[in-house]
Amino acid sequence: MSETVLVDIDDGIATVTMNRPQAMNALSAELRRDLAAAMRMLEADDSVRVVILTGAGTRAFTAGLDLKELGQQGLGAANADTPDANPVQAIELLTKPCIGAINGVAITGGFEVALACDVLIAADTARFADTHARVGVMPGWGLSQKLSRLIGPYRARELSLTGNFLDATTAAAWGLVNRVVPADALMATARALAADMATIDPGFSAAYKALIADGYAMNFGDGMALENARSSAANAQVSAQAVETARAAVQARGRSQ
């Protein structure tokens, strides 16, 4: 791993930081490769239960592909990345929850990296933008399909066909992010949420995450059938005593919150 990606693991929570603050954490070929490698490493580490992804500094989560580098290599360079250098795919293949802690701008390819996460917590200084059309490059990491499914086609077209920025408060109102917090509370909020997620059995967490993702990719009827099939198979293995023990623990936790 190079210095472009920092990984810190503490009590089952891995914090991954894209570390090119002088370049607004732009996704150079090296950073893309190292970010994908970090996600694969964390997937294989059984001690890690939850991943938090953020950017170094206060200006940017990531400003997207490094256009200066692509101007020298050609705009098709990122699309020519091998699968092991595709950070979005590596994030999506995580079976563990991934929380995006959006500390600044998430632009174009950086927007796509954010959307690969399972949950988004945004600093009040965060902003999102899809500038693909202004650069004259088609998205290749899923933005054209994900954004309309998340915020609706009308709002997606507004963002993608203007390249305008979307502030964090509006992003939350549109359902793009889970919540907005003061910038100095961002990482503490993300860690607190990660700590809650880390208390769930890893195998169950992975299966439930897969059920949501697989069903979301289907039409509603097929998704319901998928849930029925998987729940029938899984729940048949759960004993009454296990349910009773879990029920008591859930009630105790609810009383303490």
**Predicted pLDDT at 125:** 97
CA torsion, ordered 114, 115, 119, 124, to nearest 10 deg: 50
**For the chain, what are the domain ranges?**
5-198, 202-256
In order, the DSSP letters of 65-122 are B-HHHHHHH-TTTTTT--GGG-HHHHHHT-SS-EEEEE-SEEETHHHHHHHTSSEEEE
**Predicted pLDDT at 255:** 75
CA separation for the pair 173, 86 (Å, rounded): 30
**Predicted pLDDT at 247:** 78
Torsion sign over Cα 123, 189, 24, 106: negative
**Predicted pLDDT at 2:** 75
**Predicted pLDDT at 45:** 97
Taking each helix axis from N to C end, the angle separating 220-235 and 202-216, rounded to the nearest 10 degrees, works out to: 160
Contacts of 164 (CB under 8 A, 6+ apart): 129, 158
* Topology of domain 5-198, CATH: 2-enoyl-CoA Hydratase; Chain A, domain 1 (3.90.226)
**Predicted pLDDT at 249:** 75
Q: Tokens in use for 131?
A: 């500038």
**Predicted pLDDT at 73:** 57
**Predicted pLDDT at 254:** 75
pLDDT one digit per residue (tens) for the chain, 257 residues: 579 999 999 999 999 999 999 999 999 999 999 999 999 999 999 999 999 999 999 999 999 998 777 665 555 555 556 778 999 999 999 999 999 999 999 999 999 999 999 999 999 999 999 999 998 989 999 999 999 999 999 999 999 999 999 999 999 999 999 999 999 999 999 999 999 999 999 999 999 999 999 999 999 999 999 999 999 999 999 888 877 777 777 777 777 77
**Predicted pLDDT at 74:** 55
**Predicted pLDDT at 20:** 97
- H/E segment holding residue 180: strand 179-181
